[in-house]
């Protein structure tokens, strides 16, 4: 943060500072100093994306274990620390085995709902009041919620405390996404691609670290506690790596990063955001539906697959237990997301509706697999899940990249924030749909067993 002070204290908005603004990045030759600052911002937004989604992904990767204590690996069972994380279990602490199909009393969609509903609430309401809250405060709250989520999950002994920890992770991720996406409107448009790449990396590293560390013998409690380094990295990137535009100044002695809201007549900078009435915001939101609808559809399909079907699709007698298969499905999916979210500068895709359609093909194929169990090999499942991740990540990054390029600069900050509601609504509906689907499939197998 100290590196930004000299620039922020220049009240005249000099040429050096103005080159950091969004508009001055477009179509100009950069000086070496500006190139360096731009590179720092690209790296900074990548780290923010990584850290923001990390806890969210870990909660989904741990969902099967949180709901069923019997599904941990042998090493976790043998470690006494495991009891604090997984002793919560389900309502009766057990699962039912139906004709070879092991059914948790609660679907992993339960954890998904706890992991997404608070995010939905934040995203629905935040674009209409969030600008009154400084970015420093928003970032600090995100970090606090992330720390709280890891500690609650690590030390909980009952299900409701574990789910409360998941809620904290959701609040951190939801507030962080809408904050950083809005924040990105004041930087070079390419920070959207590095942010998206970082969120993809969060998926892979979050799922891989959880599955890998537990498979390596670390207790679930210690695995979660080690991950507390992630919120720390979020703050490091936000306050010390990013080079803010010149019009973001310290407010007197309060040292609070803020955006002047109403007008820019008193500033010698190039901030293009402006005050908008509620009616204007609703009109802009309507114009964003062409980006938001494919985003909603693809996220509903993939999270219905991940939290409604994956736990019911596994092979017995292979080198992975059913619980381990679920964890590595998550790793496989997140690997696909990372690849596609990092590809927008090389392979921009405009027809996101086609990608959403292909995701529903995946959904149908895997629904019938959960119903009939007809696939001959787990490798086919891994291939489909990889493709699922590629599609989901591509729709996400291309939607926000198009917004950053196609929406007027004065509306871009609001648009980036409000469009993020679409994927959260899709995820929430998927979680709600996963619960009855899980129960129906388990009921079907019970009747078949009789």
* Chain mean pLDDT for the chain: 76
- Give the pLDDT of residue 266: 37
Helix (H, G, I), strand (E, B) or coil at 102: strand
Confidence of residue 143 (pLDDT cuts 50, 70, 90): very high
The more confidently predicted of residues 414 and 255 is: 414
In DSSP terms, 257 is beta-bridged to: 250
Task: Give mean pLDDT, residues 95-119.
Answer: 63
**Helix, strand, coil percentages, rounded to 5, for the chain:** 70, 0, 25
Name the CATH topology of 34-68+105-246+276-449.
Answer: Growth Hormone; Chain: A; (1.20.1250)
Give the DSSP H/E element, type plus range, for residue 96. strand 96-98
- pLDDT tens digit string along 67-91? 554 443 333 343 433 334 444 433 3
- Over residues 350-389, the pLDDT tens digits come to 889 999 999 999 999 999 998 888 888 889 999 999 999 9
Q: Nearest CA to 423 among 80, 137, 53?
A: 53
CB 61 within 8 A of CB 53: no
pLDDT band at 440 (very low <50, low <70, confident <90, very high): confident
pLDDT per position as a tens digit, 230-255: 999 999 999 999 988 877 655 443 33
Query: Is residue 164 classed exposed, middle or buried when 0-12, 13-18 and 19+ CB atoms within 10 A define those classes?
Result: middle
What's the predicted TM-score (pTM) here?
0.66
Identify the weakest region by mean pLDDT among 80-94, 170-184, 361-375, 416-430.
80-94
Say which residues have a Cβ less than 8 Å from residue 157's Cβ, sequence separation at least 6: 84, 87, 88
Q: What is the pLDDT of residue 30?
A: 52
């Amino acid at each position: 943060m100290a590196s930004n002070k000299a620039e922020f204290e220049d009240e005249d908005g000099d040429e050096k500072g103005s080159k950091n603004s969004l508009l001055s990045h477009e179509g100009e030759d950069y000086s070496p100093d500006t190139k360096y600052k731009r590179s720092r911002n690209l790296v900074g937004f990548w780290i923010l994306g990584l850290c923001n989604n990390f806890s969210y992904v870990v909660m989904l990767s741990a969902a099967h274990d949180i709901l069923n204590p019997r599904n941990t690996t042998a090493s976790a069972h043998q470690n006494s620390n495991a009891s604090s994380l997984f002793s919560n279990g389900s309502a009766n602490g057990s699962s039912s085995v139906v004709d070879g199909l092991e059914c948790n009393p609660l679907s992993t969609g339960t954890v998904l709902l706890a992991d997404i509903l608070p995010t939905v609430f934040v995203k629905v309401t935040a674009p209409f009041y969030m600008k009154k809250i400084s970015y420093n405060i928003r970032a600090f709250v995100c970090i606090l919620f992330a720390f709280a989520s890891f500690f609650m999950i690590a030390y909980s002994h009952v299900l409701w405390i574990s789910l409360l920890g998941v809620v904290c992770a959701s609040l951190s991720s939801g507030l962080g996404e809408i904050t950083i996406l809005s924040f990105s409107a004041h930087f070079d448009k390419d920070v959207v691609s590095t942010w998206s790449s970082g969120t993809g990396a969060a998926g892979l590293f979050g799922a891989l670290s959880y599955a890998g560390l537990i498979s390596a013998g670390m207790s679930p409690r210690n695995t979660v506690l080690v991950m507390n380094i992630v919120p720390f990295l979020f703050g490091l990137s936000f306050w010390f790596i990013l080079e803010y535009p010149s019009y973001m100044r310290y407010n007197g002695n309060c040292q609070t990063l803020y955006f002047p809201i109403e007008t820019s007549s008193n500033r010698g900078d190039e901030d293009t955001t402006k005050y908008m009435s509620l009616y204007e915001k609703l009109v802009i939101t309507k114009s964003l539906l062409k980006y938001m609808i494919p985003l909603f559809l693809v996220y509903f399909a993939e999270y219905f697959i991940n939290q409604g079907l994956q736990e019911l699709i596994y092979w017995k007698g292979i080198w992975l237990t059913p619980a381990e298969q679920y964890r590595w499905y998550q790793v496989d999916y997140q690997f696909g997301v990372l690849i596609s979210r990092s590809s927008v500068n090389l392979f921009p895709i405009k027809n996101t509706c086609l990608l959403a359609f292909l995701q529903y093909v995946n959904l149908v194929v895997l629904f019938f697999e959960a119903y009939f169990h007809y696939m001959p090999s787990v490798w086919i499942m891994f291939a489909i899940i990889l493709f699922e991740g590629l599609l989901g990540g591509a729709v996400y990054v291309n939607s926000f990249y198009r917004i950053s390029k196609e929406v007027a600069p004065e509306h871009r900050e609001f648009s980036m924030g409000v469009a993020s509601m679409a994927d959260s609504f899709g995820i929430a509906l998927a979680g709600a749909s996963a619960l009855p689907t899980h129960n129906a499939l388990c009921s079907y197998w019970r009747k078949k067993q009789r």
